[in-house]
């Protein structure tokens, strides 16, 4: 690790250790950790990926995922929630290059110096995780767009200052979609507190309803026709897939840490030594360690390759690689926590131990795009030379 990475990961570690003390309570109460978000803002972590000249910490993709892996070891839901804010900004910084456009500079100042929070408005009840066109629509009306729809899984919703809402732009031309930055107090926006999930409970991923929401045309970003995936998609996927991989690996590492301590101290009276001396326990722990090592090697190496610009000449291959790293990590993370449950026996099943919560949290990983089924489709088609746009799809 570079000195800079060391410093950033230490910061993530201090925050993680603080958040760990509150994780069980927020999980139990299904409450949102406002105090964690304040700490993220105060420490500068909420501006981790913003360049230093705009008030941030200048983390690149690899710095970011190393930090997120560490943060998630303290509180998976807080790491996941702030991931939804940070990944898009990181990708925007990467795509903007050294000289962002004036509106991009303004946006970075909002996040970097004013510590504003950005939230996602991508997923919908109608389209789920199969994105392309959105059921949410944007209709041009003079110098504004009028937006209608419903977004689900809006993580961080209690503290989002600007919702980035993706919508299908209505018009005569070819189908296109765009992202709209919508300030929290805009008339027609309504948050409905629906979030009561099995895991990642403290993310407050509620529903966002948009009813005739008027936004200035200037608030529209990234309009694009629905079609082939290019450099922009590679950057967005790199920042999303690899950070999701790191967050769920962080949850799994927390489970391994608890399991190690448990196995070192738990000594049934029938044994002379604690259970870490049992072969079954050692072999199960070895499996977990190997899976974690595989995940980390894959997503850090994939991040390095992305930073070196590899894959730009073959976008589909690059995307398949990014998707594969996420696919491997989130599925490995589930298996790791399962091994930990095996080692701890019924103790892991008890709510007073953190493993029960980590077991539930880690299960959400496969639902983030690309879900297992879509990841297999993408990776399989690219590997077999089947065009992603082939119709019929199967
Ligand atoms: C904890 C958590 C936090 C989240 N936070 C956010 C957030 O902040 N912002 C946001 O926008 N979203 C967020 N999401 C949503 C997430 O990114 C997905 O969009 C959402 O989980 C929908 O995925 P799905 O697989 O359930 O949905 P669906 O797409 O409805 O899929 C259901 C099932 O059908 C399969 N399926 C559906 N369509 C196809 C297809 N065409 N081909 C193959 N299989 C298909 C899927 O693989 C899956 O098995 C969050 C999700 C979770 C769990």
CATH of the domain at 320: 1.20.140.10
Q: How far apart are CA 362 and CA 308, in angstroms?
A: 30
pTM for the whole thing? 0.96
**What's 208's domain CATH number?**
2.40.110.10
Instruction: Give a three-class secondary structure readout of 227-272.
Output: CCCCHHHHHHHHHHHHHHHHHHHHHHHHHHHHHHHHHHHCCCCCCC
Q: Is the CB of 369 under 6 A from ligand 1?
A: yes
Q: How many helices (DSSP H) and strands (DSSP E) are in the chain?
A: 10, 8
pLDDT recorded at residue 227: 66
Digit-coded pLDDT (tens) for 324-369: 999 999 999 999 999 999 999 999 999 999 999 999 999 999 999 9
Which structural domain, as residue segments, surrounds residue 66? 3-116
> Among 76, 81, 122, 123, which residue has the most ligand 1 atoms within 8 Å of its CB, making it the best to mutate?
123
Please say which residue of 225, 245, 265 terminates a domain: 225
With a 6 A CB cut-off, is 130 part of the ligand 1 pocket?
A: yes
Pocket lining: 83 vs ligand 1, CB cutoff 6 Å: no
- The stretch 32-39 carries a mean pLDDT of 98
* Whether residue 117 has its Cβ less than 6 Å from ligand 1: no
| Higher pLDDT pick, 1 / 39 | 39
Residue of 129, 204, 205 to mutate, ligand 1, most atoms within 8 A of C-beta = 129
Q: How confident is the model at residue 310 (pLDDT cuts 50, 70, 90)?
A: confident
How far, in Å, CA of 333 to CA of 353, rounded?
A: 18
Establish whether residue 155 lines the binding site of ligand 1, counting it when its CB lies within 6 angstroms of any ligand atom.
yes
Handedness of CA 191, 197, 199, 202 (dihedral sign): positive
298 in the same domain as 248? yes
Which of 373, 380, 388, 392 best tests ligand 1's pocket when mutated (most atoms within 8 Å of CB)? 373
278 & 175 share domain:
no
* Domain co-membership, 85 together with 131: no
- Residues 303 and 316 both lie in one domain: yes
- Same domain membership, residue 221 and residue 244: no
Domain boundary among 225, 256, 278: 225
DSSP class of residue 371? P
- Indicate the residue among 116, 132, 160 that finishes a domain: 116
């Amino acid at each position: 690790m570079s000195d800079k990475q060391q410093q950033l990961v230490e910061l993530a570690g201090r925050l993680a250790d603080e958040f760990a003390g509150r994780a069980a309570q927020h999980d139990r109460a299904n409450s949102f950790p406002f105090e964690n978000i304040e700490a993220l803002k105060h420490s500068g972590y909420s501006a981790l990926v913003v360049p230093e000249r705009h008030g941030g910490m200048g983390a690149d993709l690899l710095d970011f995922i190393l930090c997120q892996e560490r943060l998630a070891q303290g509180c998976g839901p807080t790491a996941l929630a702030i991931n939804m804010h940070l990944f898009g900004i990181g990708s925007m910084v990467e795509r903007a290059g050294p000289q962002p456009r004036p509106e991009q500079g303004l946006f970075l100042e909002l996040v970097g110096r004013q510590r504003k929070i950005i939230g996602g408005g991508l997923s919908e009840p109608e389209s789920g995780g199969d994105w392309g066109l959105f059921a949410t629509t944007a209709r041009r009306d003079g110098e504004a767009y009028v937006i209608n729809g419903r977004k689900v899984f809006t993580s961080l919703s209690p503290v989002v200052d600007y919702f980035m809402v993706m919508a299908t732009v209505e018009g005569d031309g070819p189908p296109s979609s765009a992202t709209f930055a919508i300030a929290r107090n805009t008339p027609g926006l309504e948050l409905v507190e629906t979030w009561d999930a099995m895991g990642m409970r403290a993310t407050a991923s509620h529903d966002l309803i948009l009813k005739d929401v008027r936004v200035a045309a200037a608030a529209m970003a990234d309009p694009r026709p629905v079609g082939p995936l290019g450099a922009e998609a590679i950057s967005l996927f790199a920042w999303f897939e690899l950070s999701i991989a790191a967050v769920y690996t962080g949850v799994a590492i927390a489970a391994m840490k608890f399991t190690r301590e448990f196995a070192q101290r738990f000594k049934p009276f029938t044994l002379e030594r604690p259970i870490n001396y049992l072969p079954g326990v050692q072999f199960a722990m070895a499996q977990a360690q190997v899976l974690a090592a595989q995940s980390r090697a894959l997503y850090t190496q994939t991040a390095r390759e992305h930073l070196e610009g590899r894959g730009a000449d073959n976008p589909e291959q690059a995307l398949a690689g990014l998707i594969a790293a996420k696919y491997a990590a989130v599925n490995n993370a589930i298996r790791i926590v399962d091994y930990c449950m095996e080692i701890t026996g019924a103790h892991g099943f008890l709510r007073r131990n953190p493993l029960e919560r980590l077991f539930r949290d880690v299960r959400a990983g496969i639902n983030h795009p690309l879900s297992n089924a879509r990841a297999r489709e993408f990776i399989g088609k690219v590997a077999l030379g089947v065009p992603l746009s082939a119709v019929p799809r199967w």
